Structure 1
Amino acid sequence: MTEEQFRRHVRKLAALRGWTLAYHTHNSVRSDAGWPDEVYGHPAAGRTLFVELKTDTGRIRTAQETWLRHLASCGFEVALWRPRNLAKITAALAPDGPRATLPHKL
Structure 2
Amino acid sequence: MTGPRRRPRRPAAKSGKTLLVRGVGKLADVGDYNALVSATMTEDVWQAQVIKEAMEQGWMVVHYRKALRQSGGYSTPVQGHKGAPDLLMARAGVVLHVELKTDTGRLSKEQKRWRDEIGPAQWRLWRPRDRDAVWAELAASPPPPGRRAAAA
Please state which band the TM-score falls in when normalised by the shorter chain: 0.7 to 0.9
Partner of 2:87: 38
- Give the one of 65, 70, 84 matched to 1:26: 65
Distance in 1 of aligned mates of 2:49 and 2:127? 11
- Give the one of 106, 128, 135 matched to 1:90: 135
Distance in 2 of aligned mates of 1:8 and 1:65? 23
Tell me the alpha carbon deviations over residues 47-84 of structure 1, each in whole angstroms, 9 at most, x when there is no partner: 111000000011110100100121016xx511001000
Tell me the alpha carbon deviations over residues 13-47 of structure 1, each in whole angstroms, 9 at most, x when there is no partner: 1011110x2111102724431100001111xx211
On the 8 A contact 1:18/1:95 being kept in 2, the answer is no
**Number of aligned pairs?**
92
Runs of 4+ in structure 1 displaced over 6 angstroms?
A: none
Q: Give the root-mean-square deviation of aligned CA atoms.
A: 1.8
1:60 paired with 2:107, answer yes
Q: Percent identity over the alignment?
A: 37
1:72 paired with 2:111, answer no
Alignment of 1:1-20 (within 5 A): 1-19=41-59
Q: Which has the larger radius of gyration?
A: 2
Q: Which moved more, 1:26-35 or 1:83-92?
A: 26-35
